[in-house]
Amino acid sequence: MSFNNKEFINCDQVLPNIVLYIDHELFDTNEVDLVENHFGNCVSCRSKMEQEAHNLNLVRNLLCNALTEQAPDDLNDRINNQIEDLYNQMIRSSQTQSITEFTFTQTTYTEFTDEGTTQIEITREIRREFPLE
């Protein structure tokens, strides 16, 4: 982030960089001072920064809680049974086969609205790829 006027920065210069400020990713101490001075003088930007910090903490807490949850036992059992069935099918077949890739992907999309609400969408995918014959 760079500022044109080093004595005072306007809201348009601060607002796009609020998350950088919250996450301590502004490394130039002069820029940090300018942003903090702006927050001290601009109630609107300070309020948006506080709301953004609150939203980010909510999302971090939600994600931390979601990442520590264990998959249900029945899901683990079904996945293990399917893998075992596939393995047994491969063993019984006359051709030697091997699984080339088995991946699990989880994507999280988070949206913060101007009204202060948060929407989170989590997509999970399990993919098995086998060699072409």
* 9-50 per-position pLDDT tens digit: 899 999 888 888 988 888 888 889 999 999 999 999 999 999
- Boundary residue ending a domain (50, 69, 88): 69
The residue with greater pLDDT, 11 or 89, is 11
Q: Which of 58, 59, 47 is nearest to 114 (CA)?
A: 47
Range of the structural domain that residue 16 is part of: 1-69
The domain total for the chain is 2
Residues in the chain: 133
CB 61 within 8 A of CB 54: no
Q: Is the pTM of this model over 0.75?
A: no
Whether residue 26 sits in one domain with residue 63 = yes
Q: Are residues 92 and 49 in the same domain?
A: no
State the residue for tokens 């702006």. Answer: 38
Same domain, 59 and 98: no
pLDDT attached to residue 96: 54
The reply to whether 64 and 4 lie within a common domain is: yes
